[in-house]
Every structure is written in structure tokens, then in C-alpha cells.
Structure 1
Amino acid sequence: MSTCQLEPCIELPLSEEKLKESVDKAKDWALMHGISMRSKTNFNKDQVQLLPVTLLPSSFPEKPFLTVNNVQTILNELIHKVAHDKEFLTNSLKSTIQADPFTAKLFHIYETVYEKGFSQSISLGLLRSDYLLHDDCKIKQVEINTIAASFAALATITSEYHNLLILIIDKIPENNALIGFCKGLIFAWELYNNSEAVMLFIVEDITYNISDQRFHEFQIRQLCPKIKIIRKSLTNLVSEGVKLGPNKELIVSNMVVAVVYYRSGYELEAYPTEKEWDMRLLIECSRAIKCPSVQYHLAGTKKVQQSLAQPIVLKKFLKDDAAIARVQEIFTGLYTLDFNDDGEKAVEMGINEPYKFVLKPQREGGGNNIYNESIKSWLNSMKESQERTAWILMDRLYPPLQKNYFVRAAEESSSEDDIDLSDVITELGIYGVIVGDSNEIMLNKQVGHILRTKLSSEDEGGIVAGIGALDSPYLIS
């Protein structure tokens, strides 16, 4: 754990009276403006509950904040080029697809579509690159997300909350993540060039994080009212008889789909039978522009990110030495667990010094990583098994501590809020939008940010799971 401490944006602790007044105001504002989700324990479509949010914006050094904002378009370009390099994807994932059935399924779809020829050459990427401060406030990338990068809407609203209620506007950076993502979706829809075509949001069978998703839909309608949006799960699509038209148009409920936006599909639960996998393949074979396409999805796997962390590899995709140096500056140590000299060395490192590392599988959605002494147990159990090649080892980062209050939905059994001043750590995410094909990048932007905060004692920080909280950066020198 880091011993470095960042000072809070105001003097803490708050008086009991001021704290109660501030929490009440925060809860009311958050619920009135959509910082909410449906309850996982008492699901009801007619009710939402408060998503965890910090009472105050958390301090974040301005220099590293600007560093990662400015590098995002380079990362967008990097992911785009990786996604269009079949040889690199194949070599990076060849051991992983032997050990990880989920990645193997995705790669099979990719190979099938590649061999048939892509009906749609354009891909849309709505990306989020996540970072932690480490070692005297250097900033290092934890991962990059290429599918269902969430909370662009609620991050925008959280920034508004901290601006309006805390009244320290000059220190909280402008955040246009929601509009940026929505303009990217509209840009792709316009490229499809069919004013009657719809957008399809692929969602879960039951959606808990409904507010974040619906804000995207409603913002698109505000920006471009003629776009119709439909929401379906892969299982819904299986039962509805989706088909391809004579020119490979994706046709759902007799409507041509211009853009498919995956807010689900990154987890095994989205594919309960082979029919859902067949539907994913059908969509990939269509002319609809996918967000992400299967090659973008694969480009975001942990194993590909680990391959990119090798210094010589970046020169394959980025020709500008200054750009390469900027990316290398934010990369942290990522290590293969393949059956080779590097893999054997990484296994021994993880077993001997587990607190220096995180063990990561090829999964999105949070809650899948292994920490501390459990790393030793997992690596010992997988040491001679092909299963280990489905994982990577990453240097563990220890961000500086600071104080803040978490505002959460009260437990049903409790009539009083239990708000404690706690030691917390923050994780910064930077949102990017990229649109293009193998020959041309048509749009490449950094569009906003998110700060997610958790107790310093927690390893994972899922917001929907109630462990982490939405936050905003309060920039300090």
C-alpha cells in the first residue's frame, strides 16, 4: 500500500451537521439527475436506487491527468492498427485460444469473417483507457477497454454534480464523455448512408445499469431526432429471426440496422447457448457498422495488451518516435505466462513476490483479477497446465491515499445513513472515439474522462457491485 497522501479539496472532516446536510443534498441531486441503477436484490422496473458516488471530488495531480488525456488519440490509433493486423492478433492469441474458450469463440468468429471477407470494412471504437497513479504520482495504464466501456454518461453527470454543488468549478475539468460517445455513434450511422436504418443496442437480458445506457439513447435522439434506437439482447435476437438482406444488410424486426452498439457481449453469460454465438457471427457477417467489431474486441484482450507492452512491438504500429515514447511512458509491466523462458520467469516472480503483481484473465466487467497470496496458490495450481496461458501477470500499482466520503443507497434495514470519512484510492479512465477502416482513420478524438474511487482496503472497485464510487478529479498542481 502507498504511504503517499494527497490532500483533500476542502478541510476534513466536516461537522456532523454539515455532513448530514451535504449527504441529503447529494442523494437528492444524484437521484434527480440519474446517478442511479436498478436494484440487484429487489429488481423492479419502476424503481431505481442511488449508485455510489463520492461526496467530494477527489484530488488528482494535473500533470499526469493532462498526460493521459493527450495520449488518448495515439492509443486509439494503436488499437485501430492492431485490430487490422491479422498476423499480430493471431500470434498474440495463439496460446490463449488453446486455454480460454471465450477468447477461442471470438477468434473463431474473427477467422470465419476474415476468410469470407468483411461485408463492412468500417469499425467504430468507443474506448476507455484506465490508469492508476503510482510511485510519486507517475501515471500508469491498467488496461484499455474496447467493448461496452461504461459510465460515459454518469461520469459526465458526476462532474456536473461536483461542479454545481461543491462550487469549485475552476479545478474540475470539463467532461464531454457522453456527447463525445454519442457523436461517434451518430458519425458511424451517417457513414452507413441510409436515413431509414436504425441503431441496435445489444444489452443484457436484465439491465441493472439502465441509466447510463438510456442516457446514450436519449442524447442521440436529442442530437439527431431521426435516428431510431432499438434494444435487444443476443437471446432476444435469436428468438426474433434476424436475417441478412441481399446486400448483407442486418435486418431486425423488418428494420435495417446501420450501427450495432454492444453494451453486453463481453461476458460468458451473454451466450447461454450456441445460438447466441451464431447470432454474434451473423452480425459480424453483416454490413452494419459494429461497435466494436470482433477484431476491435480481440484487440482489447489482456493478452494483446501484454504483447504491446514489449518495446519493439510499438514500432510496428506507430512510426513517430515521440508518440512511441509517450505510450511507453504510461505502460506498466505486463508479463506473459506462456510456456517459454519469459513465461517461466513470470510464474516464479508471481509465486515469490505475489504482492508485487496482479494476475489477470481475459475477461471484462471487473471482479475477475487475483491478488496477494491467492496469486501464489493460483500459479502453483496452474504451473504445469495450459490454463495458465489464458492469464497474464501485471505489476501491481499502489496509488496515493486520500480522504473522502462515500454516499451510497441506505440498506433497507437502516433508517440512518452511515457515512464515514475513509482512506480511498482513485482510478482514472480516459474515453476515446475512433472510426475507420484498414486504409483510413475518419475520426479520432479524446472525448472525456471518469474517476472511480474505492476504499484503500479493497482490491476490486466495481461501481455496480457497490464497492467503488463515481467521482470527479479535483486538479492539483
Structure 2
Amino acid sequence: MVLTLANATAEMSTTTTQTQTLDMREMKRQLNVIKGEHGELLLTSSNENGDKQHQQNGQNGTTNGHHANGNANGTTANTTAPAQPTALLTVDARNYVPNLVADDQRMRELAEYGLDYAHSIGLCARTVEHKFESDIATTPPLALMPSPFPLSLYTKAFEVQETLNELYFRISCDHEFLLETYKDVIKGDPYIKRCVEIAQQIHDEGVHQPLALSVQRADYLSHWDEQKQCIELKQVEVNIGQIGGPGCATQTNKYHRKMLDKLAIVRAGTGGMEMLAHTEMPVNKPRHKMGRTLYEAWKLFGDPNAVLLFVNQPDLFPFCHFEQLQFTTFEVEKLAKRDGNIVQVIRMTFKECAERCHLDESDFSLYVDGKRVALVHMAYGYIGEHYPTEAEWQVRIAMERSTAIISPNIRLQLTGTKKIQQVLSKPGVMEKFFPDEPQRVAALREVFTGLWGLENDDAVTNAVIEDAIQRPRDYVLKAQMGAGKGNFFDEEMVEKLKTMSLEERGAYILMKKIWPVAVKNYLMRPFQVPYLENVVSELGIYGSIIADSSNGKVLWNSAEGYLSRSKPANLNQGGVCEGSGVVDSVLLFPDNEFVGTN
């Protein structure tokens, strides 16, 4: 079998567990799927040795997802008897987009239709040139159609998310574990050092707010294992607190569902849509679900007059700012209104917080403009550059010392680093946090790739470093920062490994490179003509947890939808904000259809 593999990447800076269901039998009826009388669908899969026929059992029940072709409003009609087989069906999953969008005219028509629809549903935000004005708006970079992705990998990612939520909460409660983990990192990373110092200060003084809130996004890539000859799910990183995408992801899913409906309309009478017979398009609403988490945390604070403080920086990439507003402000206000509550959301920069926030030392209540703060959501403050002066650090310390619920508090923030990810991959470490749950540990270990710390000057560490120098295409060097910052590839990585001191090495980890499977899609960027590209998709699963750190009791634990971002396969890394990635959705194919194509 020949697979088109991406040019190696392990990083892209770029739901509830159940999805809404629509009847796949109806989808098959509408798509004129060719079925046998026993529900069998004949398929052919091409490989380098020639075409090879095989059979796959048809689905006789309902499955979670959106049919690839149906009514524009997503409704379904009554199921009819399956048609008798008249021909063989070739499923070319990874190339379905160019196969069905067969010429430039059709592509341009679909792109224009899609952009009009995106604006009509609010999938747009301020432009880079007008960051502080909403009079001019544009769409984010988008994939024309949803990109193919293996169903089993998507399912696996959701299955482990609630375990991940709980794991990182438990780590945040283990002060000694955090200190031990970072003892070498702080020698070469001044930002992490300051965060550890604040965590120590809070530990010594005593925690004044035991409720912990963490919103999380775990990012994954598909990985082709050449030895096993199979496709696997591999974790890129886990982001805690300052996560992007839930607003964009929600509306992009709506956009792509509409585009599948439109594709079925323009291809009516010409055939081809039957290749999507077994696909699923899961409903994705992380904006609503993550807004619910923040609202529930606000309610748990217990003061109906307290405010929600949203710390952000509006001069960042406009979409990062706007999509945060969608679930932090608009969604929380809507949920509160339904309950008969009023939640005032106050947006401020760190600089404004330093000027307007006040900590009452008598009871450790946090106030902004004289109003008590119930919840602080930190959409900023996760790298050293976000603290240009001591004033920003001091207001962060005041927040941590207060009774306000912090999303995330400094202890949870310290769990979302590459170092924690690397330490968790070591034998026996996860077992410390799940001592009586080996199945949960095993499920998580399946998604880990190779990770090594560099703080030791021993034979094992030196051998890994030497292997990375000799075979740089197989590794990525990573600092503690998220969002793809501080990653080194190829010769740049080699130079870094050769010149760093032992103390400097402690701030980095080496990661085995992930080899994702590439698919084809059209990429649309504002004011540019869409173009066909080999792309790889990174799948980020949102999760949230609210728990009591004083007794370990979990009050809320949920997987809350996904974010898909795709980038050209020939780039080591690329994000939406950086200009090389696009916001995407997943169209789920059975593994044999996804892998079994040229």
C-alpha cells in the first residue's frame, strides 16, 4: 500500500462525549448507496499491486453524525428499502474533495457560496488591519470542505478526554510533584521559575479558593506506523486554560455541514456522492458547552452579584480575540438569562487589571471597580512576554491569593507544559495518579509518542541526543511554551542540541516526530484564490473540569467538542494566526476507507 505521508510534523501552532445523531440509513437512501439484499456494500480499494476488491458490511442502525447529503435544514425523511447492487463502488476517501469538486468553475462557485454563508452565520471577525474596529470583517482562513479523518481515531480522542481532565487536576493538587518536575526546568526558563515561585507562595500561605476550574484542549495527529502498517492517534500537546478555537470551531462546523449539503445539490444527477455513504459529520458546539462550564463555575462561587473577569489582549490576532468573546461573554450572558440570573462580564487587559483590581486582605476577596469577582478567565498570561513589567506579575499574584475562581490557577497552568507531558510518559508516573485504574492509564499511554527529558548527563540521555543529531527528521526539540512557540526542527534543532549547556537543556524536551497522513483539500484565505493542497489535520479535543482541590471531589467533568486545523503537509508547523493554517472540520471515514486509498 502506498500512503501519501506528510513531511513530518509533531506540532501545529495552529463535546460532550456523545454527538447528535441522524439516521445513516436515510443518508444512504438519499445518496443512492448500492447495497446488497443482506446489507453488504461492495468496495474496491486500489494499491500499488492493482485493484483489490473487498466487502464491508453495511450499517443497519443509526450512527452519530450528519449525513453528507440531505436537506439543507438537516432533517431526514422516512427510510426506504435499499436498492439492489448494480456496480462496484470505489471509495477514495483522502481525495474525495478534488474528486467531487472536479473543476475550477465549480470550486469558485462553492467558495463564493461558502463565504457568503460564513458571513451570514457570523463566522467572521475584525481584520488584522482594523483590530479595534468591527465595521470591517472577514472570514478566517477556511478549508473549502471538511477534511477526511479516521473515525476510530476521533472516537479514541474523545474516549480519553475526561481521564485527561482528571489527570491534570490531580497533578495540580500534588505540590511536591510539581516542584520535583520543574527543579531542572527553572534553571533555564525564567518564566516557569516565576510561576513555580508563585505556586510556592500560595502553598505556604494557604489556598483561599479550593474550587479549581480547568478548560483544556488536547491536540492530536494521525500517525502512520510503518512497522505495524496501521494508523494511530498520537498526542501533540495538552493546552490548559488559554485555549483558542471554540467560537470558530462551532461556526465552522455549521459552515461545513452546509457545504456538504450544497455539494450534493450541485452534483445532483452526476453521481459521485455515494463515496460518502459511510461518512459521519459530528455536530460540534464547543462554544456553547465551554460557556456552560464557565457559567457553572460562576454559580458555584455563590454570590449572584459577583462579576466574571475576562483577561485578554484585543490587539492579538483578531480572531483569537473575537472567538474568545463568543463563549466567554455572549454565551455566559445567554445562559444566565435563561436561568433568571445576570452575569456581568468585564473584559480587561493585564495592564488594566493592574490599575483597577484590588485584593481585600481582610477576607481575600478580589474586586474590580468595587465589584466582587467570582471568576477570572485567563485568555492571556501564558508566556513570559505577557508580563512586561512587575505590575502584571503582582496582579496575577493578587488573583491567585484571592477567593476568586481562577481559570486556570497557577498550579493548573503549570500542568500544561511539555515537561509534564514528557514526565507522564515515564513508566509508573501516571499510575501514581490513577493507582487502581490500570485501564485508564493504558488508554492514555496508547496516544503518547516518544518523549525524553534532557536535564541528565547520562548514557540514555546522551544517546537520544546523538540519535536526534544524526537523524533530525525523526525528532522535534520543544521548549515549555504552547501554541507551537519554541519548537526546533531539522538543522536548527541540531545546532541547538550541539550548543546548549546542560542547564539550558533542562528547559527542553525531545519528542519523536509524528508522521500524519495527508489528504487533499482546497484552502481559502481572505482576498486569495482558493488552491488545492496536500494537508494534514490536527484534531484538538476540548474538555473541562471543576473540582475541589481540598478533597479531590470532581463536580464537573466533560469532553466538549473539537477544533480541527489543517496546514500544508510540506510545512513542519503552521498555525491559523501565523497565516499557514486554516480552520477545518472533520468528515469521518471508516478506517479501511481512509487508509485503503492511494
Note whether the superposition's TM-score is higher than 0.5: yes
Q: Secondary structure at the match of 1:260?
A: strand
Q: Which residue of the other structure, out of 542, 554, 563, is the alignment partner of 1:441?
A: 554
Please report how far the alpha carbon of residue 399 of structure 1 lies from its aligned counterpart in structure 2 after TM superposition. 0.5
Partner of 1:258: 374
Of the three residues 269, 274, 280, the one matched with 2:396 is 280
Query: Distance between the aligned counterparts of 2:554 and 2:368, measured in 1?
Result: 29
Instruction: Tell me which moved more, 13-22 or 239-248.
Output: 239-248
1:82·1:89 contact (CA, 8 Å) conserved in 2?
yes
Deviates more, 1:355-364 or 1:457-466: 457-466
Structure 1 match to 2:138: 49
AA paired with 1:381? T
Q: 1:269 aligns with which of 385, 407, 417?
A: 385
CA RMSD of aligned residues (A): 1.8
Structure 2: how far apart are the matches of 1:403 and 1:283?
47
* Counterpart for residue 413 of structure 1: none
CA 57–84 in structure 1, closer or farther in 2 if over 3 Å, else same: same
Question: Is the counterpart of residue 224 in structure 1 residue 336 in structure 2?
Answer: yes
For the pair 1:32 / 2:109, whether they are aligned, the reply is no
Structure 1 residue runs of 5 or longer lacking an equivalent are 411-416
Post-superposition offset of 1:205: 5.2
* Map of 2:57 onto structure 1: none
Query: What one-letter code is carried by the residue in structure 2 that aligns with 1:339?
Result: N
Q: What's the counterpart of residue 250 of structure 2? A: 156
TM-score computed with the length of structure 1 as normaliser: 0.95
Q: Specify which of 159, 176, 185 is matched with residue 285 of structure 2.
A: 176
When structure 1 is superposed on structure 2, of 199-208 and 252-261 the one drifting more is 199-208
Say whether residues 1:403 and 2:481 are aligned partners. Answer: no
Specify which of 456, 470, 473 is matched with residue 352 of structure 1.
Answer: 470
- Aligned pairs (5 A) from 1:276-425: 276-318=392-434, 319-341=436-458, 342-382=460-500, 384-410=501-527, 417-425=528-536
Q: CA deviation at 1:34?
A: 3.1
SS at match of 2:573: coil
Contact 2:524 2:531 (8 Å CA) reproduced: no
User: CA–CA distance in 2 between the matches of 1:58 and 1:14?
Assistant: 16
Residue aligned with 2:310, SS: strand
Structure 1 position 153, deviation (Å): 1.4
Deviation track 1:425-472 (CA, whole Å, cap 9, x = no partner) reads: 010011111010232111111111111100011122211222111111
Q: Does 1:3 align with 2:1?
A: no
Aligned to 1:427: 538
Match of 1:75 in 2: 164
For residues 244 and 436 of structure 1, what CA distance do their matches in structure 2 show? 25
State the 4+ residue runs in structure 1 displaced beyond 4 angstroms. none
In 2, Cα distance between the equivalents of 1:32 and 1:466?
Answer: 24
Determine helix, strand or coil for the equivalent of 1:137. Answer: strand
State the match for 2:312 in structure 1.
203
- Alignment of structure 1 residues 225-244 onto 2, 5 Å: 225=337, 226-244=342-360
C-alpha contact (below 8 Å) 1:433/1:446 kept by paired residues: yes
**1:270 Cα deviation (Å)?**
1.6
Hey, what does 1:87 align to over in structure 2?
176
Contact 1:132-1:397 within 8 A present in 2 as well: yes
Q: Secondary structure at the match of 1:390?
A: coil
The match for 2:303 is 194
Please tell me whether the aligned partners of residues 36 and 50 of structure 1 are also in contact (alpha carbons under 8 angstroms).
Answer: yes
- CA 1:275/1:68 → structure 2, altered by over 3 Å: closer, same or farther? same
Tell me, in whole angstroms, the C-alpha distance in 2 between the residues paired with 1:471 and 1:26. Answer: 13
**Structure 1 residues 118-175: Cα deviation after superposition (integer angstroms, max 9, x where no partner):** 1101110110000011023200111100121111111111111111221289621121
Check whether the contact 1:9–1:57 (CA below 8 A) recurs between aligned residues. no
Structure-2 change in CA distance of 1:285 and 1:453 (3 Å)? same
Whether the 8 Å CA contact 1:110–1:295 is kept in 2: the answer is yes
Partner letter of residue 378 of structure 1?
Answer: K
Task: Indicate the residue corresponding to 1:463 in structure 2.
Answer: 576
**Local SS of the residue matching 1:290:** strand
What's the CA shift string for 1:79-134, capped at 9, x where partnerless? 01111111111111110011101111111111101100011011101100000110
SS, match of residue 110 in structure 2 = helix
Report the alpha carbon displacement of residue 180 of structure 1 after superposing the two structures with TM: 1.4
- Deviation of 1:323 after TM superposition, in Å, equals 0.7
Are 1:259 and 1:289, in contact at CA under 8 Å, matched by a contact in 2?
A: yes
State the distance in 2 between where 1:187 and 1:450 align. Answer: 22
SS at match of 2:128: coil
Matched-pair contact (CA < 8 Å) for 1:9–1:56 = no
**Displacement after TM superposition at 1:241 (Å):** 4.8
Shift of 1:312: 1.0
Unaligned runs of 5+ in 2: 7-92, 225-229, 265-275, 591-598
Q: Is the 8 A contact 1:34 1:154 kept in 2?
A: no
SS in 1 for 2:419: helix
TM-score, normalised with respect to structure 2: 0.76
C-alpha contact 1:336 1:389 (8 A) present in aligned 2: yes
Equivalent-residue separation in structure 1 for 2:5 and 2:517 (angstroms):
5
Show CA shifts across 1:251-309 (max 9, x none).
01111110110111112232110110111111000000011011100011111111001
Aligned residue identity for 2:397: L
The answer on whether the counterparts of 2:297 and 2:546 sit within 8 Å (CA) in structure 1 is yes
The separation in 2 between residues aligned to 1:113 and 1:100, in whole angstroms, is 20
Look up the SS of the partner of 1:467 in the other structure: coil
Q: How far apart, CA to CA, are the structure 2 residues paired with 1:379 and 1:12? A: 47
Does the Cα contact within 8 Å between 2:521 and 2:535 map onto a contact in 1?
yes
Structure 2: distance between partners of 1:79 and 1:194:
28
Q: State the shift of 1:246 in Å.
A: 2.9
For residues 344 and 338 of structure 1, the distance between their equivalents in structure 2, rounded to whole angstroms, comes to: 10
Q: Sequence identity of aligned pairs in percent?
A: 31
* Cα shift at 1:2: 6.5
Which has more radius of gyration?
Answer: 2
1:180 partner letter: K
SS in 2 for 1:143: strand
Q: Does structure 2 retain, via aligned residues, the 8 Å contact 1:259–1:290?
A: yes
Q: CA deviation at 1:349?
A: 2.3
Distance 1:280 1:310 in 2: 32
Residue 125, structure 1, aligned to residue 126, structure 2: no
Give, in whole Å, the separation in 2 of the partners of 1:339 and 1:42.
49
Q: 1:62 to 1:44 in 2, by over 3 A?
A: same
Residues matched between the structures, number: 470
Aligned to 1:171, the other structure's residue is in SS state: coil
Paired with 1:462 and 1:131, the residues of 2 have a C-alpha distance of: 14
Aligned-residue offset at 1:49: 2.5
